[in-house]
Amino acid sequence: MTTANDEQENEFEAASDAPPTSLWAEFFQFVVENKKWWLIPILLAFGLIGVLVVLSSTGAAPFIYTLF
């Protein structure tokens, strides 16, 4: 006789055997399941700012400053 706890344990073991998902796939799944679409523009803006910060410390800095 199997109980609900045994079935839950089997599901848990099956999930642990699944291949790991990437960070991007996990984030996209989070956005879709929780309907957090407003996070995407904020994270894109942070990403662009991060790229500008990294590029400003390289030889590309004079070219970036001419954009502004």
Domain ranges of the chain: 23-68
pTM: 0.53
pLDDT tens-digit profile of 5-63? 667 667 878 777 878 889 889 988 888 999 889 988 999 999 999 988 887 777 777 77
Q: What is the distance, to the nearest Å, from the Cα of residue 50 to the centroid of all Cα atoms in its chain?
A: 16
3-state SS, residue 44: helix
Greater confidence (64 vs 19) lies with 19
Q: Give the pLDDT confidence score for residue 4 in this predicted structure.
A: 64
Smallest CA-to-CA distance from 47 within 59, 39, 57, 35 is with: 39
